[in-house]
């Protein structure tokens, strides 16, 4: 079994990005600048956004964190997005999800300038991605493709089963893995809460991508020998023995499944760090598109 080490691979990618940033500096260009908008005080979101901002420092980007109270109205958030769209110095920005319930998520995502939409969540970018056109690929799917490619996992002609149809991971993943190109050319089955006999399907899979948010959902009896496992889940499960009072669990029952897998991502240290590295990569791309 080979561990698909997202921490190590993301560090390699960040080093590659840092080299490009240094080149920009050497040429007297402004370095890429990422902004993140966080509405409310959700603990997990605060952790994620903090990691994104720290990662910017590591590669030499400028970063701005905009925190807004959880009483923020949709109008106030849309005004902030307008400012960021018009800013001459912000190359890309994200609005951390989920948003408080008084705010319509789709209205917010639709308001982001597609050329600054480094999350790749705007309908224009999603549509362009689906049509193989230049776009921003959402960071988590982009990170998974990179991990598979850099570990030379064969995807061509393989049966990939995606569990979960979220707009952020499952749906784009199912499109990308069936496309031509690196980490593509797979035969894809997209499964979800209405799928019947899920185990029968997962047992036929060469590659399984689980993005459900249900801790330890995928168990050893559901997979075949030699399967490739990508675990996108990251849940906080109460655990009194841990200093923070919780443990981080993926969607895969790691101990059992890893005995059958040929490749598997750990949680933490698998897909999570790759997401952050690819958000930086998208921000670098946004800056480079301005320069070209
Ligand atoms: N919430 C969970 N994942 C993501 C992500 O990739 N981007 C943003 N903006 N919010 C998220």
The total number of structural domains that make up the chain: 2
User: Do 181 and 248 belong to one domain?
Assistant: yes
- Closest-lying ligand 1 atom to the alpha carbon of residue 94: 9
Q: Distance of CA 269 to CAs 66, 88, 162, 180, 213, Å? A: 27, 35, 20, 28, 16
User: Do 229 and 149 belong to one domain?
Assistant: yes
Last residue of a domain, one of 113, 148, 182: 113
pTM for the whole structure = 0.97
Phi, psi of 171 (to 5 degrees): -65, -55
Containing 236, the helix (H) or strand (E) segment is strand 235-238
Last residue of a domain, one of 113, 130, 149: 113
Mean pLDDT of the chain: 97
- Residues 6+ positions from 108 with CB-CB distance below 8 Å: 74, 77, 78, 81, 95, 99
User: Do 109 and 145 belong to one domain?
Assistant: no
In the prediction, which pLDDT does 292 show? 83
CB 163 within 8 A of CB 212: yes
Ligand 1 centroid – CA 28 distance (Å): 32
Which range marks the domain in which residue 86 is found?
Answer: 28-113
User: Do 150 and 213 belong to one domain?
Assistant: yes
Q: Tokens representing 206? A: 């060469």
User: Do 189 and 77 belong to one domain?
Assistant: no
CATH number at 266 reads 3.40.50.720
User: Do 102 and 175 belong to one domain?
Assistant: no
pLDDT in tens, 172-221: 999 999 999 999 999 999 999 999 999 999 999 999 999 999 999 999 99
In the prediction, which pLDDT does 127 show? 98
User: Do 91 and 181 belong to one domain?
Assistant: no
Last residue of a domain, one of 45, 78, 113: 113
What's the rounded mean pLDDT across residues 108-124? 98
| Best mutation site among 77, 93, 94 for ligand 1 pocket (most ligand atoms within 8 Å of CB) | 94
pLDDT in tens, 38-93: 999 988 999 999 999 999 999 999 999 999 999 999 999 999 999 999 999 999 99
Domain for residue 120, yes or no?
A: no
Cβ atoms < 10 Å from Cβ of 27: 8
User: Do 87 and 165 belong to one domain?
Assistant: no
- Note if 7 is an active site residue: no
User: Do 163 and 226 belong to one domain?
Assistant: yes
User: Do 42 and 89 belong to one domain?
Assistant: yes
Alpha-carbon distance 228 to 206, whole Å? 6
| Best mutation site among 48, 271, 279 for ligand 1 pocket (most ligand atoms within 8 Å of CB) | 48
Question: Looking at the DSSP assignment, which residues form a beta bridge with residue 208?
Answer: 161, 229
CA-based nearest residue to 158, from 129, 127, 186:
186
> Half-sphere exposure (CA, 13 Å, Cβ side) for 214?
9
Q: Regarding beta strands 235-238 and 246-249, do their DSSP bridges make them parallel or antiparallel, or are they unpaired?
A: antiparallel
CATH number at 64 reads 3.40.50.10860
- Note if 96 is an active site residue: yes
CB 284 within 8 A of CB 35: no
User: Do 143 and 266 belong to one domain?
Assistant: yes
Domain for residue 144, yes or no?
A: yes
Domain for residue 10, yes or no?
A: no
CB 211 within 8 A of CB 193: no
Ligand 1 centroid – CA 107 distance (Å): 16
Q: Distance of CA 161 to CAs 132, 150, 204, 258, 263, Å? A: 21, 20, 9, 17, 15
pLDDT in tens, 160-176: 999 999 999 999 999 99
Domain for residue 121, yes or no?
A: no
In the prediction, which pLDDT does 67 show? 97
Alpha-carbon distance 112 to 198, whole Å? 37
Domain for residue 229, yes or no?
A: yes
In the prediction, which pLDDT does 55 show? 98
Domain for residue 6, yes or no?
A: no
- Note if 290 is an active site residue: no
User: Do 105 and 149 belong to one domain?
Assistant: no
Q: Tokens representing 191? A: 């499964």
CA-based nearest residue to 61, from 109, 24, 98:
24
């Amino acid at each position: 079994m080979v561990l698909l080490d997202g921490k190590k691979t993301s560090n390699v990618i960040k080093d590659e990005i840092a080299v490009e940033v240094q080149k920009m500096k050497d040429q007297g260009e402004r370095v890429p600048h990422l902004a993140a908008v966080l509405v409310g005080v959700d603990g997990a979101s605060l952790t994620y956004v903090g990691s994104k901002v720290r990662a910017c420092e590591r590669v030499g980007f400028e970063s701005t964190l905009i925190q807004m109270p959880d009483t923020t109205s949709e109008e106030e958030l849309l005004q902030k997005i307008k400012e960021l769209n018009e800013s001459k110095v912000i190359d890309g920005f994200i609005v951390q999800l989920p948003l408080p319930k008084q705010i319509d998520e789709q209205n917010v995502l639709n308001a982001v300038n597609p050329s600054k939409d480094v999350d790749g969540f705007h309908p224009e970018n999603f549509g362009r991605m689906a049509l193989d056109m230049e776009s921003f690929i959402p960071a988590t799917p982009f990170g998974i493709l990179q991990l598979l490619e850099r570990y030379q996992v064969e995807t061509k002609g393989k049966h990939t089963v995606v569990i979960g149809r979220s707009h952020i991971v499952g749906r784009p993943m199912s499109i990308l893995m069936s496309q031509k190109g690196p980490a593509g050319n797979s035969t894809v089955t997209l499964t979800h809460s209405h799928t019947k006999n899920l185990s029968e399907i997962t047992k036929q899979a060469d590659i399984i991508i689980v993005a459900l948010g249900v801790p330890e959902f995928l168990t050893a009896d559901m997979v075949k020998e030699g399967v490739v496992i990508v675990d996108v889940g990251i849940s906080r499960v109460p655990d009194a023995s841990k200093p923070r009072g919780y443990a981080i669990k993926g969607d895969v029952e790691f101990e059992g499944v890893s005995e059958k897998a040929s490749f598997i991502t750990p949680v933490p240290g698998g897909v999570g760090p790759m997401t952050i590295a690819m958000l930086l990569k998208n921000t670098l791309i946004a800056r480079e598109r301005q320069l070209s």
